[in-house]
Chains A and B, each alone.
Chain A
């Protein structure tokens, strides 16, 4: 009879059937929208987190404002000061165009092009005279910035310390041509309309905050009434009134707007005005700038940490990130464990309501079916999570540069740290297996998702605990709370991940992971028992007590076949 059955593979062993079930689950999940949304949502979120703030900044519309200056001098000083960072940006941009010899250079106005050339020449002279400076890239960058800043302050029209620093650096023959350029570039800048300013540099205050002239004199009460009307009509965003003697500190200045939530304009203006006023006060009391800085210098505490060997280690920004990165990983772990295990639950309930269980059970054993499902969905989850890990690495390494954002340091060190990424993958797998077994057991006894959700609520409550304890544990990763929670298997993956910055001792890693492994096996065993009975049940979902009875049920209901 068997001769009539061609091409039958040698009776498929149990493992291969399990893999077949797993493969089908994996392929089917790959076809769902949810899977691809899961794959892409993370990169999109990360990119959004990095891009959106700068986009928002760029998208802010220009604010028109009026200043009623009763002092007669403060406004002018503020505008000089405001021009300084703008000019620095414009010169730096022009200098870059000059160096790259791009076509951008030709589009620049003559004055600006010449400025860029002269700055370049001046820098060349410094390089020749002080080769030591040019050799160190960090120092050279600072030198360039100093020169640009110095010339910008000359053009802006106030002689601060910056100009002096430049003069010290530059030889006289380099300063002369710059001095000659000063007035032409100054008049170009003043004549440049605010709308066009953004062509010469990004984030210029000239294009963000546009001052319009007020009609009438400051002392006229009608003027203020008129200004109120203009604010109400939306013609201008706000107006400021500066008293006759702001230096005295005895009168108040005013800021009037219909929108007090967006205080960018106020913050920007008051900082500049505050600087000017402070300088005046210092001059009045004949206190030099250095003395003032010294008086205001705070008492600094340098943080350092004692390492495991007793030696002191310097604390860097990276350490702060290392301390808190686990919190982000716990979040990710929680979301991925939960969403992937949930996938399994939905899938089991669907298979049951599609009445497929019995057909499948005529070909595979319940244990094979259950393991196959758990494996298949684990593969789905791992694919998703690994794609996140890879993206996270690439994003932290390349995205900041690509977006021209300076993150301060290299975030990708976290992405390559085994303590984080390795632990993440392992705890994902173990945590998933633990919760997957619980949920597949629940899924097997339910006929609808609604029933499943009812049975799931205690597990949900349990799952929220590691979320709530996330910050306290992050603060004190080796505290009593953290240690105690590590030994409770349902929390182990999250809490141990949470503590990665501690880090816990190797002994703790070994013990808690062993405990978790044992409970994974236990839960699997229980789930297999429940699954076996549950998948064939129709009608009302059993009560939790009933399920407990199944777990304790002796042979008979349990898949032990008595041989005759």
Chain B
């Protein structure tokens, strides 16, 4: 496959709910075989966009092409979708649910079952196959849901907030799953409001805020387009950064800080001012974080993270 075939193409799509404009003239292109992140704060329009892509709701304006089709309905079997709100039939066993989801996607019953068992074993749930979902722990239930999304080996997987509510072990499982999909040549789109997760995984990203696209493109390009900043790992009192001359903005997280300088200020002078006042473990000049890019793009509006 070549990167110029598109798994998904959205052209100036708008969706209104009454007077509220949830998605406003949004356009984007997702190349096949990539991992694409929809980033933005809660309520930015990520879920609405995804629902429109899945043909669960329909845009008021604009068009969507998914896997070359104008409508997801005709190719539902080639899509995998994990909605933001996740649930299982309480009275069905894990393998029954996987088989059912597989069959709904057009697999035959026997194949769906054997593939389901295979996946459960692979992700450490072999013993839970015959257990009813109401008896599974929360984490196990989430894994079953995720496996249900991919059991039919879809060409395009759309995951809405896949990491929310997962413990670190399951975050790892989720990441492994996304990466293995990419290795198999599948396309993965996921949404998140947690920037570092996207930075670790995505080939492409789109930042949305209040229904409008802020910026999109390959992750590297998006980042290099912004001003470089100084990344500092440190121990000590972070308030000293404010006293340093020539600093424009500081993103201080306590042990790590990102500092952006006014034009023409030499990073070396900053280092000199800091030496002796805090203990510095790392100091380098590099591309800005997605967080910084986002904050700058929306003009310093507060986003929740």
Which residues does A use to contact B, with CB under 8 Å?
1, 4-12, 17, 20-21, 24, 28, 31-32, 354-356, 358-365, 536, 538, 556, 559-564
Question: Which residue of B54, B90, B91, B105 has the most chain A CB atoms within 10 A of its CB atom?
Answer: B105
Question: Which residue of A6, A12, A24, A363 has the most chain B CB atoms within 10 A of its CB atom?
Answer: A363
Provide the bound-state CA to CA distance between A21 and B103, in Å.
10
Provide the bound-state CA to CA distance between A7 and B152, in Å.
10
Least CB separation from A562: chain B residue: B58
Q: Does B24 contact A (CB under 8 A)?
A: no
Determine if A8 and B106 form an interchain contact, defined as CB atoms under 8 angstroms apart: yes
Return the contact of A358 from the options B1, B77, B85, B89 (Cβ within 8 A). Answer: B85
CB distance from A41 to the nearest CB of B (A): 22
Further 9 A-B residue pairs, CB within 8 A, beyond A9-B108, A362-B56, A536-B57: A4-B184, A7-B108, A9-B106, A10-B106, A11-B106, A17-B104, A354-B87, A363-B105, A563-B71
Provide the bound-state CA to CA distance between A9 and B77, in Å.
10
- Known interface pairs A561-B58, A563-B70; A360-B63 also in contact (CB < 8 Å): no
Please name all residues of chain B whose beta carbon is closer than 8 Å to the beta carbon of A12 when the two chains form the complex: 77, 104-106
Determine if B101 and A5 form an interchain contact, defined as CB atoms under 8 angstroms apart: no
Determine if A362 and B76 form an interchain contact, defined as CB atoms under 8 angstroms apart: yes
Question: Which residue of A17, A358, A559, A564 has the most chain B CB atoms within 10 A of its CB atom?
Answer: A358
Please name all residues of chain A whose beta carbon is closer than 8 Å to the beta carbon of B296 when the two chains form the complex: none
Determine if A360 and B104 form an interchain contact, defined as CB atoms under 8 angstroms apart: yes
Provide the bound-state CA to CA distance between A354 and B89, in Å.
7
Determine if B152 and A8 form an interchain contact, defined as CB atoms under 8 angstroms apart: yes
Determine if B58 and A559 form an interchain contact, defined as CB atoms under 8 angstroms apart: yes
Least CB separation from B61: chain A residue: A562
Interface string of B39-71 (1 = CB under 8 A from A): 000000000000100111110100100000011
Please name all residues of chain B whose beta carbon is closer than 8 Å to the beta carbon of A356 when the two chains form the complex: 87-89
Least CB separation from B111: chain A residue: A7
Question: Which residue of B90, B92, B106 has the most chain A CB atoms within 10 A of its CB atom?
Answer: B106
Please name all residues of chain B whose beta carbon is closer than 8 Å to the beta carbon of A31 when the two chains form the complex: 91
Which residues does B use to contact A, with CB under 8 Å?
1, 11, 51, 54-58, 60, 63, 70-71, 73, 76-77, 79-92, 100-101, 103-108, 111, 145, 148, 152-153, 155, 184-185
Determine if B106 and A362 form an interchain contact, defined as CB atoms under 8 angstroms apart: no
Please name all residues of chain B whose beta carbon is closer than 8 Å to the beta carbon of A361 when the two chains form the complex: 54, 56
23 A-B interface contacts by CB (under 8 A) = A1-B155, A1-B185, A9-B108, A11-B77, A12-B106, A24-B100, A28-B89, A31-B91, A354-B87, A355-B85, A356-B89, A358-B83, A358-B85, A359-B148, A362-B76, A362-B80, A364-B76, A538-B85, A559-B58, A560-B58, A561-B58, A561-B70, A562-B58
Provide the bound-state CA to CA distance between A564 and B89, in Å.
37
Please name all residues of chain A whose beta carbon is closer than 8 Å to the beta carbon of B152 when the two chains form the complex: 5, 8
Q: When A and B form their complex, which 8 residue pairs have the shortest distance between CB atoms, in order from nearest?
A: A355-B87, A564-B63, A362-B81, A358-B83, A363-B104, A355-B85, A354-B87, A7-B111
Determine if A359 and B91 form an interchain contact, defined as CB atoms under 8 angstroms apart: no
Determine if B90 and A536 form an interchain contact, defined as CB atoms under 8 angstroms apart: no
Provide the bound-state CA to CA distance between A31 and B90, in Å.
12
Determine if B56 and A8 form an interchain contact, defined as CB atoms under 8 angstroms apart: no
Please name all residues of chain B whose beta carbon is closer than 8 Å to the beta carbon of A24 when the two chains form the complex: 100
Least CB separation from A1: chain B residue: B155
CB distance from A190 to the nearest CB of B (A): 68
Please name all residues of chain A whose beta carbon is closer than 8 Å to the beta carbon of B155 when the two chains form the complex: 1
Provide the bound-state CA to CA distance between A31 and B152, in Å.
27
Determine if B77 and A8 form an interchain contact, defined as CB atoms under 8 angstroms apart: yes
Determine if B107 and A355 form an interchain contact, defined as CB atoms under 8 angstroms apart: no
Least CB separation from B33: chain A residue: A1
Determine if B101 and A363 form an interchain contact, defined as CB atoms under 8 angstroms apart: yes
CB distance from B279 to the nearest CB of A (A): 48
CB distance from B58 to the nearest CB of A (A): 6
Return the contact of A362 from the options B57, B83, B100 (Cβ within 8 A). Answer: B83
Please name all residues of chain B whose beta carbon is closer than 8 Å to the beta carbon of A538 when the two chains form the complex: 85
CB distance from B225 to the nearest CB of A (A): 31
Determine if B89 and A363 form an interchain contact, defined as CB atoms under 8 angstroms apart: no
Least CB separation from B160: chain A residue: A358
Question: Which residue of B1, B83, B88, B91 has the most chain A CB atoms within 10 A of its CB atom?
Answer: B83
Question: Which residue of B56, B111, B184 has the most chain A CB atoms within 10 A of its CB atom?
Answer: B56
Determine if B86 and A564 form an interchain contact, defined as CB atoms under 8 angstroms apart: no
Please name all residues of chain A whose beta carbon is closer than 8 Å to the beta carbon of B63 when the two chains form the complex: 564
